[in-house]
Each structure stands twice: as C-alpha cells, then as structure tokens.
Amino acid sequence: MRKIIHCDCDCFYAAVEMRDDPSLRGKPLAVGGRAEARGVIATSNYEARALGVHSAMSTVRALRQCPQLILLPPDFRRYRDASQQILAIYRDYTPLVEPLSLDEAYLDVTGVDRHQGSATLMAEEIRARIRTEVRITASAGIAPNKFLAKVASDWNKPDGQFVIHPRDVDAFVAALPVGKIFGVGKVTAARLQKRGVHTCGDLRAWELARLTGEFGRFGATLHQLCRGIDERPVRPNRIRKSLSVETTYAHDLPDLAACHTELPALIAEFHRRFAKLPAQRPIHNAVVKVKFADFTQTTAECLSSAPDEAVWGALLDEAWARKGRAVRLLGVGVRFADVAADRGDEGEEQLDLFG
C-alpha cells in the first residue's frame, strides 16, 4: 500500500504577488493579460473568486464582472523561484517528487519514517514550512494513490488538507461525481449523465467491455479509477517529450473554416499550459490532432521551434483534408527537442495527446 501526498499551492501566482506587496492583501486581485490585448486571467485570489473572477476567463469579462479588480501582469521569474524553494522542501522528505506544474507535485512517502511514518503529519509539516519559508500557503491531499491524492488536495482548499484512508477509499470513490476523474471533461460527464451515470459508484455497473466499447483505451482506465484503483507510480525523472491541449466540442465543427475559428482559443490555452511547465525546453515540432465525427483520428506535424497560428493552421489544413468531414475534437501541441537522459515521459493524461 502506497502513501501519496499531492501538494497544490493556493492561488499560486496571486499568492506570490500578495507576499511581495502586502498592500494587495484583502483586495480582489488577478494575474493575467491586459484587456486591450485580449488577455486572459491566469489566476485570481480568493477575494476575487468570491466576486466571480476565475482562471481562463477573459480579462475583459473579469473587469466587467468586478470593476474594482486589481490586475497584475505575470512575473514568471518570481513564480519559478518560489517553485524551486517549494520543491527543495519536498525533496527534504523524499526523492520521489514528481512536479506537475510550478505549484503542484506528487510525493511518494511510502516507507519514509518521519513522524512515525504518518503522511498526514508530514503533509502538515510541509505546509507549515511552505508558509514560513516561502510565505505562501498550500493545500494537500493524502491517499493511497495519485488519483485520490489529487482529488483530496482540492477538498479543503485553501490552506487545508484532507486524508483518504485506505479503509475509506471504497465508500469515498463510490460517492465521487464522475467529473472528478481526470480525463472526464464536461462533454464526457454530460454523455455519462444522459445514461444515468453521475457518480463513480454508478459507473461500476458498466462492464469493462462496455467501457472500452464506449471510450476506447480510456475505458479500461475508467474501469479502474471508478473503483479507486490507480497504479501509476510517482515518477521523479519524468521528462516531458510533448505538450498539447485539446478540446472535444459539444457540437461537431462542420467544416474547415469552423476549425480555424477555434484555433486561437486552443493556442491561447496551449501558451498558458506552456508557461506553467516546471522547466522550459526547446521546441522541436508543432503538431495538430484532429478527431472526426466518425471517431477516426489523425495528426499532422512539422519542424518548428516557435509555432504560431500560421504553422498550426497549415497543419490543420493538412490533417483535415485527409477525411474532409465534421470534426469532434481538435488539439494543438509541440514535441520538445530530445534530451540525453530521456526516460519515462508520461504526461498527465489530459495534457498528453501523443503518449
């Protein structure tokens, strides 16, 4: 039985800004791009969230929603410095640390004998150290696997933690809404709900064959996750080979022009995710993925060190022409240049098209 801690800082970019300028505390604050430049909110503090300002919202909308909002441009150097400090704290407990982004990581503390082996007390201490040494707050989830640790870190946010004991896993997961499973987005959740599946417990009634028939390879993963089973190890040396974002559309995109209309939003989301990577790496290839209405899929890629809308747009033309019909999913991404110590690279499933 493993002991996994998932740590996730609270309103990370905004927390660093409030730390460095305490006069911002208590006021609604967001970090993001300027309204005039069609910017997007990267994050907001909890005061701003209470007023309806959230990540990924356009800055124009955020300011309309909350005119007193203080907007700051991102300063990734300070966020990366804070991230490095936090990682050093984690590595003081275990070498098995897998960062997911600047503010999020999994720790495998199985067999670590601090606090008589209590992962709960270790998480308390890690959070206390982040508070005093980095002067921001973090939340933590403690569970027997990655899937549940990540769900748990969200449970008592901000500045809280939540433990899912092995004996409680079954009941906890049975009541968990299917939308909490990574990889189950709004579209999939709605599709399941139409068939009467709301919780992971409901999904257990579906046999493996039905799940794989419906969802392909992901069906087998779902079969395990809805039972609280997740055997993915914490991989400290993970080197990401690719980064991509994709969207399944609630309504199929009828033609190529409709696909091009969606491209800027996908590219903007790509850049947000790219900025969040723990280490920046040189880009080697640009990639576009297209899944057609008949569920067949294709990818097109080309050499590019700095892809833009023209590069991804040309790849979209190429990929779309292979079938030339309505599209249910579009993805854009990159492959990174090879690194010498290339080992396991499994991205978080929802980020990795190419695994």
List active site positions: 104
Least distance in angstroms from the C-beta of 12 to Mg ion: 5
CA dist., res. 271 & res. 244, Å (int): 10
Cβ contacts of 132 within 8 Å, gap of 6 or more:
none
Tokens of 41: 């909110």
Contact residue for ligand DCP among 11, 89, 192, 225 (CB under 6 A)? 11
Does position 98 interact with Mg ion (CB under 5 A)? The reply is no
Which amino acid is residue 184, in one-letter code?
V
Q: With respect to ligand DCP, which residue has the nearer C-beta, 114 or 135?
A: 135
CA dist., res. 40 & res. 265, Å (int): 10
Does position 181 interact with ligand DCP (CB under 6 A)? The reply is no
Contact residue for ligand DCP among 6, 7, 10, 123 (CB under 6 A)? 10
Contact residue for ligand DCP among 43, 161, 188, 304 (CB under 6 A)? 43
Specify the DSSP class assigned to residue 130.
I
Does position 8 interact with Mg ion (CB under 5 A)? The reply is yes
Tokens of 336: 């990174």
CA dist., res. 297 & res. 246, Å (int): 13
CA dist., res. 136 & res. 1, Å (int): 32
Altogether, the residues listed in the chain come to a count of: 355
Does position 103 interact with ligand DCP (CB under 6 A)? The reply is yes
Cβ contacts of 344 within 8 Å, gap of 6 or more:
235, 237, 238, 239
Does position 13 interact with ligand DCP (CB under 6 A)? The reply is yes
Does position 71 interact with ligand DCP (CB under 6 A)? The reply is no
CA dist., res. 210 & res. 128, Å (int): 46
Least distance in angstroms from the C-beta of 115 to ligand DCP: 25
Does position 272 interact with ligand DCP (CB under 6 A)? The reply is yes
Least distance in angstroms from the C-beta of 208 to ligand DCP: 32
Neighbouring C-alpha atoms within 13 Å toward the C-beta of 115: 12
Site for ligand DCP in 279-338 (CB under 6 A): none
Residue 177 binds: one of Mg ion, ligand DCP, none (C-beta under 5 to 8 A by kind): none
Sign of CA dihedral 45, 175, 97, 306: negative
Helix (H, G, I), strand (E, B) or coil at 110: coil
Q: Distance from first CA to last CA of the chain, Å, rounded?
A: 27
Contact residue for ligand DCP among 3, 4, 6, 12 (CB under 6 A)? 12
Site for ligand DCP in 211-270 (CB under 6 A): none
Q: With respect to ligand DCP, which residue has the nearer C-beta, 159 or 214?
A: 159
| Cβ proximity of 342 and 239 under 8 Å | yes
Number of residues that bind ligand DCP (CB under 6 A): 16
List, edge to edge, every strand of the sheet that includes 29-32: 41-44, 29-32, 70-72
Does position 8 interact with ligand DCP (CB under 6 A)? The reply is yes
Contact residue for Mg ion among 17, 98, 103, 301 (CB under 5 A)? 103
Residue 43 binds: one of Mg ion, ligand DCP, none (C-beta under 5 to 8 A by kind): ligand DCP
Least distance in angstroms from the C-beta of 269 to ligand DCP: 7
Does position 276 interact with ligand DCP (CB under 6 A)? The reply is yes
Site for ligand DCP in 140-159 (CB under 6 A): 157-158
- Between β-strands 283-292 and 297-303, what pairing exists: parallel, antiparallel or unpaired? antiparallel
Binding residues for ligand DCP (CB under 6 A): 8-13, 42-43, 55-56, 103-104, 157-158, 272, 276
